[in-house]
Amino acid sequence: MVTKSSVFEMIGPVMIGPSSSHTAGVVRIARAAIRVLGKKPEKAVITFYNSFARTYEGHGSDKAVIGGLLDFKTDDNRIKNSFEHAKKEKLKYAFKSVGNASTLHPNTLKINLTAGKDKVEILGESLGGGIVNIAEINGFTANFSVSLHTLIITADDVRGSIAFIANVLAQDDCNIATMSVSRKGRNDLACQVIEMDSGLKPLTLKYLESLKWVDEIIYIPDIDL
C-alpha cells in the first residue's frame, strides 16, 4: 500500500536549498553517520559517487555533508557556512569523487569517520525528497532509513541469536518494522539492523550490551534526523 502524503510534504519540508536530494538527504546521512560513530568525529573523508561525483560541489552537497557531521539539522541556516564552523570545531575533512560505480545508487556517498581509535564507514543513498537509505555500515549490509527507531547490533554469529534478540525486544513491547542480518563469513561477526515502531528502554539496551556474544550496540532513536 502506498502511504498517503501529508499536507506538510506539499507545503514543506522547510529545508536548506537547493535540492532535497543534494542537501536535506545528504545532511541526514551525515547525521546518521555521527550517531553510528557515537561521538564527535575528528576526521572525515567523504566520497561522492556517480551522479553525485560531478554535481556535489555545484549543489552544495559538500557543505551539506559537513553541516550534517556537525549535527546541523536539514533546515539549519548554518549549513551554508559549514566549512567555517568545521574549522572552529576542529573537524578535518577531505572529498573524493568516483564515477561509474555501477553497483551503487546514482546518488551515493561514503563517509569515513575517525575519532581517536574509533572508525566507521557508512554508505548512504539519497533517494529524493530528503529520504535516505543507509545501505552499509562498516561493510555490513544495513538498509535502514533513519526515520524509525533503529538498533544496530554487531555480535558473534551464534545460533539462535536472532530469535533471542527478537524476543528481548518483544518483552519491551517493541514492534519490529524491518530487520536485516548480514555477516562476513560463517561463525564470523554478524550485523543485525532492526527498525522499530517504538523506542527501547535504557534497561533493555543495557541488557543487550551485557550479553557475552554481543560486540557492540548502537541505538538511534527516532529523533527526526
Partner 1 sequence: MSFLFNDFSSWKKYCEEKQLNLHEVVLEYEVKQKGKSPQEIWDGLAAAYQVMKEAIHTGLNDDMTSRSGMVNNGAKKVYQNKLTVLSPEFQQLIARALAAKEVNSCMGRIVAAPTAGASGILPGTLYTLQEIHQLDDKKISEGLLVGAGIALVIEEKASLAGAVGGCQAETGSAAAMASGAIVYCLGGNVDQVFNAVAITIQCMLGLVCDPVAGLVEVPCIVRNASAAAIANSSAQIALSNVSAVIPVDECVEAMGEIGQSMEDKYKETALGGLATTATGQQIAKKVLIQDIEILPDQPDESS
DSSP 75: T
Q: Which stretch binds partner 1 (CB under 8 A): 57-65, 141-149, 158-166, 173-181?
A: 57-65
The answer to whether 150 touches 195, Cβ cutoff 8 Å, is yes
Task: Name the β-bridge partners of 214.
Answer: 155
Q: Residue 206 to residues 27, 39, 195, 209: CA-CA distances in angstroms? A: 29, 18, 18, 5
Binding map of partner 1 across residues 111-130, x = CB under 8 A, - = no contact: -----------------x--
- Tell whether residue 15 is a contact of partner 1 (CB under 8 A): yes
Query: The cell 560531478 sits on which residue?
Result: 54
Three cell numbers at 110? 561514503
Helical pair 161-171 and 202-210, crossing angle rounded to 10 deg: 160
Closer by beta carbon to partner 1, 25 or else 124: 25
Closer by beta carbon to partner 1, 50 or else 154: 50
- Tell whether residue 1 is a contact of partner 1 (CB under 8 A): no
- Tell whether residue 97 is a contact of partner 1 (CB under 8 A): yes
Q: Give the binding site for partner 1 (CB under 8 A).
A: 4-20, 23, 51, 53-60, 63, 75, 77, 79-80, 96-103, 128
